[in-house]
Amino acid sequence: LPAAGPGPARRPGGRRGARDAMSLRERIPGGAVEAGEDAAAALVEPDAPDRCLSLLPWDRFSAWLHCVCVVGFDLELGQAVEVIYPPHSKLTDKEKTNICYLSFPDSNSGCLGDTQFCFRFRRSPARKVSLCCFLDQLERDLPVYLKKDPAYYYGYVYFRQVRDKSLKRGYFQKSLVLISKLPYVHLFRTMLKQIAPEYFEKSDAFLEAVCSDVDRWPPPIPGKILHLPIMGIIMKLRIPTYRDKPGTTSIVQNMHQAGAQISVTLPTIHEVDLFRCFCPVFFHIQMLWELVLLGEPLVVMAPSPSESSETVLALVSCISPLKYCSDFRPYFTIHDSEFKEYTTRTQAPPSVILGVTNPFFAKTLQHWPHIIRIGDIKLPGEVPKQVKVKKLKNLKTLDSKPGVYTSYKPYLNKDEEIVKQLQKGVQQKRPTEAQSVILRRYFLELTESFIIPLERYVASLMPLQKCISPWKSPPQLRQFSQDDFMKTLEKAGPQLTSGLKGDWIGLYRHFLKSPNFDGWFRSRQKEMTQKLEALHLEALCNENLVFWSQKHTEVETVDLVLKLKNKLLQADREHLPVKADTLKKLETHINDIILALPDDLQDILLKTGTT
């Protein structure tokens, strides 16, 4: 608080102080709390039934889903959005077009019967924010890789294609699509599996009932066991928190029948079957981990949207608990609004992972440096054979053999142990869930070995606590120095936790230029800056602020009060890591200072809530 430093006492400003306080008051919006915040509080506190009455219809629905769409095939128009529910849901024409094309498999996929997959697309800018923005406070308890990206929507699809001679086209083709900002792949996949088959029999009235059920769900609070009723079934799950030990899954009681309702327990809300997805490229998992870590451009060419979307999601998750910070599209088509941007040859391919099924992409994306070609995903009945990395020039069509096509040379030596362990599992017919657990633990340990030295170095950039003065602005973090960091690796590098040999230094140098490092470092910067703000607040609380105000003018005292109130608001808005007692102590200081001022100033300052 630079303007409130210690100094010689001056004559009180008298009426000038009051006038200045009035002018300050005019620049401050009223302290009234928006009604919406009360509603949000009711939503977050289910134990407040009376306050819940202030919730608008569909507020609970909006905490989970943006809308539900039905996409059908019209002989004249092609794919078209037939239904959007709830009816008031807003989608721009561009968003509707993207949803239309992304909700159907490419014609070459030949997906007869029922198919499930997911896609991701950019939201149109300048969208009005609803009450759900108040629910963003729930985000602070999520692991970083589960935080929603406000610029994107996910589409979760259940597509049905069956022969129907009564239709001109000879086929019934329709998709039920859940549009959400949440990356809860397994949850929405399970939900669609429960409701979609029945929807195709009962149509729109059933859809309305589904949405009404979702509008009765509790908010998506991390760390709590949630019971989500959906058409006679209760889905039981727990959303992870950032406090959970990485790699662990909370145990929720097994599936059981309670009265007339069946409870379905979800062991995860977001994970895919990792082993099944990586089976076609079994021997290259470590190289793929490097490519994803470094944010390299990657294309997954698959026979269907189901395989492409699951493989892309598996790739993105393999660097967990690091967040993959570039764009990724589990299913991408030639009609996508970013098609030209991502396939142009006039510049280097962007940092993005694309999942494609159209053979056209084999030619269009030939200039991309890393291409993963997978066939039909099926678990091997026997031990997979060693497969070499293939040269890009050998990739002519989508019919090329499965494998990884790249000229990339991995920085780290190959870990033969994990390959042997998984091969042994195949021989012993170990369940795919167990194989996935082994693979997920392997990726987790590899990522943690890589990131711990960076965490240790960045923690050293934090100023010492003795540098924090209540009468000065909080000190700045020291600058990140690549050279200084590299010097720390000799004694405190990944060799402390990993036995893998190779060019770790080269891998770090490459990583420091990647979007994943940029995203990770920004997140750490924000956390440490908030910690400094919290320590600054504690330092202020330990000062005798009333005594200080008595030695300074009314104008300076009013300025101090406003700045302290701003500090409180910042602590609440940014969820600073401050103890509740500290905030109460600061509120007491503020009230004591105000009560020592003249009555007219007291009235103004007591009504003043925000800046």
- CB crowding 148-184: b at 16 or more within 10 Å, else e: beeeebbbbbbbbbeeeeeeeeeeebbbbbbbbbbbb
∠ CA 326-414-311, rounded to 5°: 40
Give the model's pLDDT for residue 381.
54
Task: Please determine, for residue 41, whether its predicted confidence score (pLDDT) is greater than 60.
Answer: no
Give the model's pLDDT for residue 132.
47
Q: What percent of the chain has pLDDT over 90?
A: 46
Task: Please determine, for residue 373, whether its predicted confidence score (pLDDT) is greater than 70.
Answer: yes
Task: Please determine, for residue 481, whether its predicted confidence score (pLDDT) is greater than 50.
Answer: yes
Q: Which two tokens stand for residue 36?
A: 């919406």
Of the pLDDT bands very low, low, confident and very high (cuts 50, 70, 90), residue 14 is very low
Q: 189 exposed, middle or buried (CB, 10 Å; 0-12, 13-18, 19+)?
A: buried
Give the model's pLDDT for residue 240.
93
Q: Which of 246-255, 257-266, 309-318, 463-472 has the lowest mean pLDDT?
A: 246-255
Task: Please determine, for residue 605, whether its predicted confidence score (pLDDT) is greater than 90.
Answer: no
Give the model's pLDDT for residue 103.
95
In whole angstroms, what is the distance from residue 123 CA to residue 104 CA?
19
In whole angstroms, what is the distance from residue 610 CA to residue 572 CA?
12
CB 186 within 8 A of CB 269: yes
Q: What percent of the chain has pLDDT over 70?
A: 81
Give the model's pLDDT for residue 413.
93
Of the pLDDT bands very low, low, confident and very high (cuts 50, 70, 90), residue 388 is low
Q: Which of 106-120, 146-160, 266-280 has the lowest mean pLDDT?
A: 106-120
Dihedrals phi, psi of 566, to nearest 5 degrees: -65, -40
Domain ranges of the chain: 59-206, 273-516, 544-608
Q: Which of 70-84, 152-166, 445-459 has the lowest mean pLDDT?
A: 70-84
Q: Which of 121-135, 172-186, 304-318 has the lowest mean pLDDT?
A: 121-135
What predicted TM-score, i.e. pTM, was given to this entire model?
A: 0.84
Q: Looking at domain 273-516, does it have CATH number 3.40.190.10?
A: no
Give the model's pLDDT for residue 289.
97
Task: Please determine, for residue 5, whether its predicted confidence score (pLDDT) is greater than 60.
Answer: no
- Give 411-438 pLDDT, tens digit per residue: 999 999 999 999 999 899 999 999 999 9
Of the pLDDT bands very low, low, confident and very high (cuts 50, 70, 90), residue 37 is very low
Count of other CB atoms within 10 angstroms of residue 58:
19
Higher pLDDT, residue 96 or 130: 96
| 544 contact partners, CB below 8 Å, separation of at least 6 | none
The whole-number average pLDDT for the span 441-460 is 95
- Give 51-103 pLDDT, tens digit per residue: 433 467 788 999 999 999 999 987 777 889 999 999 989 999 999 999 999 99
Q: Which of 260-264, 511-515, 520-524 has the lowest mean pLDDT?
A: 260-264
What type of residue is 333? T
Of the pLDDT bands very low, low, confident and very high (cuts 50, 70, 90), residue 306 is very high
∠ CA 349-355-360, rounded to 5°: 75
Give the model's pLDDT for residue 134.
52
Higher pLDDT, residue 524 or 202: 524
Task: Please determine, for residue 379, whether its predicted confidence score (pLDDT) is greater than 70.
Answer: no
Higher pLDDT, residue 10 or 325: 325
In whole angstroms, what is the distance from residue 447 CA to residue 435 CA?
18
∠ CA 609-610-611, rounded to 5°: 145
Mean pLDDT (the chain, rounded): 82
The whole-number average pLDDT for the span 524-552 is 85
Higher pLDDT, residue 130 or 272: 272
Task: Please determine, for residue 11, whether its predicted confidence score (pLDDT) is greater than 60.
Answer: no
CB 360 within 8 A of CB 334: yes
- What CATH class is the domain 59-206? alpha beta
Higher pLDDT, residue 44 or 218: 218
Task: Please determine, for residue 13, whether its predicted confidence score (pLDDT) is greater than 50.
Answer: no
- Give 255-293 pLDDT, tens digit per residue: 444 444 678 889 999 999 999 999 888 889 999 999 999
On the CB side of 222, CA atoms within 13 Å amount to: 19
